[in-house]
């Protein structure tokens, strides 16, 4: 066996500690396996569908929950309003020249000091409504039919405000809206308190597309709109970030005439039954984002903030119930700017593709704090923003 | 097996980076142990291509399981073990252990070793790589990596007798190849190399 041992020693000494030059190609191969890039390009598709699914579900939840929550509030209001409108129709409507403005004045005559700020002043308007309800009750006795109408509204129409009966009454929505806004506003502020969310690196540029459903609050009717834009996100801490940007959006919606309250003295001889609006808007959001979940590749952030709407173009088309044809449309350009007049609430699901690139889907709601546009409608949007996000300054782990 | 003990601290730092799945640390560690690990792979492989594949398989396993490494122990043996096991697995399908001597490649071997000045690393490596996987594996494990027949038998799932037999055949074959080399060398080369070869053949101590 000594012969064997010598052979062993020859090979052991010769082979044991070779000095082999490092080969970068070998490392490249291994690196590809350890940090596979192409593989991850496939994954996002699956993730995207998953995220889109989640987003769609959230959207449905948003839409379903909202009307349910509103209904109890609507019922008394609807009743009150209908009655009030009857009053208006019976009394001032025929007499007064400026129909649109005056019914309000008549209606709220006991609270004259409040009337002008009725729409914007939520608390007051609610109080006003209550008083009005009380005040209008005597009328119910005088007008049993009105009462009946009130019931109908209460039961059947509360959630579907496009009912023709309602459409004849300009005041109708004005009361409803303020109240609705009041509740929304309080909801919103609660959500704003916790500062909120986002990505890993310091400065992120996002390009986004955001299809949404736009509706005038309470109308129950939604139309598909959409927008696209650019956003920049600055990270203050690992979890907290601030986003701003600009998005061009189309807001298309239908509304009852009752919810259309332009700042004009123009009086329709016969009120249009329905208004179709098509607005071009620049939406400038300022949002605070807070990352609530941060996995290695995926993160979830909540986001809230305020948007400013710059109305580029607003076009309102009127349609009438009967044979009567009044003015067909009205167009306004660059007249209305609503600075910080819209609240944003959203949840962002983000998937990291690599250190510098990520995609995200963000179900969001835009809740009006003021009346929007020439029509002074409470225009809200619910949708999903899909965006591609790029880190602008290097990778930082 | 005592390569590069010196920079133990740096290595530990790399390892911690690897635990965090950091690319730079992985590369540093890979680079640091490349020569050592590749040396093992080349001995167990048929050729460099296979060796590179084994190397990366081994490192891949090592990186994926780096959290299981106990920092109190030396990293080198841990890595060496992984690499060796990976190499064995790589040829497991080809490991047909038999008790007969296979000498069909004999003549080829003689040709492949025609040009050299001395039995340098690459020549010895070429000889080992020319062994069949079964012989080569046992020879590597026993002669160079220092495993006992009991361990080898367990690692390869063979009997101790088979392990011994394969080692014997492997040596025999290497000897034949050396002789062939020697014959060639006699024709071409002069004393010094031949003396080394003769020393091997005559069982005198080298170096």
ipTM, two decimals, is: 0.72
Would the pLDDT of A351 be above 70? yes
Question: Distance between CA A80 and CA A101 in Å, rounded?
Answer: 19
pLDDT score for B38: 92
Quickly list DSSP for A125-154. HHHHHHHHHHHHHHHHHH-HHHHHHHHHII
Nearest CA in chain B to A5: B143
Hey, is B152 helix, strand or coil? Answer: helix
Q: Do B124 and A14 touch (CB under 8 A)?
A: yes
Supply A351's token pair: 């998937």
pLDDT score for A41: 53
Residues A227-242 have a mean pLDDT of: 87
Supply A361's token pair: 């889907």
Question: Distance between CA B207 and CA B202 in Å, rounded?
Answer: 14
- In this structure, what are the phi and psi dihedrals at residue A268, rounded to the nearest 5 degrees? -80, 135
DSSP A372: B
pLDDT score for B116: 40
Counting residues of chain A whose pLDDT is more than 70, the rounded percentage is 56
pLDDT score for A220: 66
Which stretch, A36-50, A112-126, A168-182, has highest mean pLDDT? A36-50
Nearest to A15 among B23, B55, B125 (CB): B125
The list of chain B residues with pLDDT below 50 reads 1-4, 99-118, 190, 204-207
pLDDT of A324-349, one tens digit each? 667 777 888 877 788 888 889 999 99
Q: Do A18 and B121 touch (CB under 8 A)?
A: yes
Q: Do B56 and A12 touch (CB under 8 A)?
A: no
Q: Of B133, B120, B205, which Cα lies nearest the Cα of B170?
A: B133
pLDDT of B81-94, one tens digit each? 999 999 998 888 76
Evaluate whether A172 touches A158 at the Cβ level (below 8 Å).
no
Q: Is the dihedral of CA A334, A339, A342, A346 positive or negative?
A: positive
Question: Distance between CA A140 and CA A88 in Å, rounded?
Answer: 13
Cβ of residue B26 closer than 8 Å to a chain A Cβ: yes
**How far apart are the CA of A74 and the nearest CA of chain B, in angstroms?**
56
Supply A319's token pair: 């349609």
Would the pLDDT of A113 be above 90? no
Pairing of strands A298-319, A329-333: antiparallel
Q: Do A3 and B203 touch (CB under 8 A)?
A: yes
Q: Of A146, A106, A120, A102, which Cα lies nearest the Cα of A268?
A: A102
Burial B160-176 (b: 16+ CB within 10 A, else e): eebbebbbbbbbbbbbb
**How far apart are the CA of B60 and the nearest CA of chain A, in angstroms?**
7
* Prediction pTM value: 0.39
Evaluate whether A148 touches A89 at the Cβ level (below 8 Å).
no
**Mean pLDDT score of chain A:** 69
Residues A3-14 have a mean pLDDT of: 79
CA A57-A290-A387 angle, to 5 degrees, is 55
Chain-centroid distance, C-alpha A297: 27
Within 8 A of A18 by CB-CB distance, chain B residues are: 35, 38-39, 42, 121, 125
pLDDT score for B63: 92
User: In this complex, how many residue pairs, one in chain A and one in chain B, have their CB atoms less than 8 Å apart?
Assistant: 99
Counting residues of chain A whose pLDDT is more than 90, the rounded percentage is 4
CB-count exposure of residue A176 (10 Å: 0-12, 13-18, 19+): buried
CA B17-B20-B25 angle, to 5 degrees, is 30
Sheet strands (E) in chain A: 203-216, 223-235, 240-256, 274-294, 298-319, 329-333, 337-354, 357-368, 379-391
């Amino acid at each position: 066996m000594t012969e064997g041992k010598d052979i062993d020693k020859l090979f052991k000494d010769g082979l044991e500690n070779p000095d082999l030059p490092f080969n970068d190609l070998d490392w490249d191969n291994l690196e590809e396996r350890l940090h596979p890039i192409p593989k991850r390009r496939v994954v996002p598709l699956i993730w995207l569908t998953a995220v889109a699914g989640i987003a769609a579900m959230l959207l449905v939840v948003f839409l379903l929950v909202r009307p349910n929550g509103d209904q109890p509030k609507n019922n008394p209001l609807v009743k009150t309003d209908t009655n009030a409108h009857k009053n208006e129709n019976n009394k001032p409507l025929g007499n007064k020249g400026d129909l649109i403005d005056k019914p309000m004045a008549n209606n709220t005559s006991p609270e004259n000091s409040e009337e002008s700020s009725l729409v914007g002043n939520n608390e007051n308007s609610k109080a006003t409504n209550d008083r009005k309800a009380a005040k209008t009750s005597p009328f119910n006795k005088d007008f049993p039919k009105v009462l009946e109408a009130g019931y109908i509204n209460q039961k059947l129409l509360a959630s579907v405000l496009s009912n023709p009966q309602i459409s004849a009454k300009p005041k109708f929505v004005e009361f409803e809206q303020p109240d609705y806004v009041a509740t929304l506003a309080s909801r919103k502020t609660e959500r704003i308190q916790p500062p909120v969310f986002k990505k890993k690196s310091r400065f992120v540029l996002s390009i986004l597309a955001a299809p949404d459903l736009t509706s005038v609050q309470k109308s129950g009717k939604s139309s598909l709109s959409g927008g696209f834009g650019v956003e920049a996100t600055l990270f203050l801490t690992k979890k907290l970030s601030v986003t701003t940007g600009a998005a061009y959006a189309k807001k298309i919606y239908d509304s009852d005439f009752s919810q259309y309250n332009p700042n004009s003295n123009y009086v329709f001889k016969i009120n249009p039954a329905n208004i179709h609006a098509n607005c071009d808007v620049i939406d400038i959001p300022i949002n605070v984002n807070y990352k609530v979940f941060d996995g290695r590749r995926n993160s979830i952030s909540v986001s809230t903030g305020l948007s400013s709407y710059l109305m580029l173009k607003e076009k309102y088309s009127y349609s009438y119930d009967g044979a009567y044809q009044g003015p067909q449309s009205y167009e306004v350009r660059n007249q209305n700017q609503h600075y910080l007049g819209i609240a944003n609430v959203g949840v962002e699901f983000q998937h990291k593709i690599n250190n510098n690139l990520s995609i995200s889907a963000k179900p969001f709601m835009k809740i009006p704090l003021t009346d929007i546009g020439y029509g002074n409608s409470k225009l809200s949007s619910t949708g999903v923003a899909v965006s591609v996000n790029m880190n602008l300054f290097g990778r930082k782990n | 097996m005592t390569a590069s003990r010196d920079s133990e601290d740096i290595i530990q730092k790399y390892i911690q980076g690897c635990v965090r799945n950091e690319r730079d640390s992985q590369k540093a560690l890979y680079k640091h142990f490349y020569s050592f690990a590749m040396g093992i792979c080349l001995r167990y492989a048929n050729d460099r291509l296979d060796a590179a594949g084994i190397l990366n398989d081994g490192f891949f396993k090592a990186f994926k399981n780096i959290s299981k490494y106990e920092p109190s122990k030396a990293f080198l043996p841990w890595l060496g073990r992984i690499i060796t096991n990976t190499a064995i697995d790589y040829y497991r399908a080809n490991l047909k252990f038999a008790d007969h001597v296979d000498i069909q490649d004999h003549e080829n071997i003689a040709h492949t070793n025609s040009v050299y000045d001395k039995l340098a690393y690459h020549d010895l490596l070429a000889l080992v790589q020319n062994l069949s996987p079964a012989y080569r594996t046992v020879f590597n494990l026993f002669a160079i990596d220092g495993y006992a027949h009991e361990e080898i038998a367990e690692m390869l799932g063979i009997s101790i007798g088979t392990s011994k037999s394969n080692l014997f055949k492997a040596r025999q074959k290497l000897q034949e190849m050396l002789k062939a080399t020697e014959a060639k060398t006699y024709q071409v080369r002069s004393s010094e190399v031949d003396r080394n070869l003769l020393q091997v053949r005559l069982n005198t101590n080298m170096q």
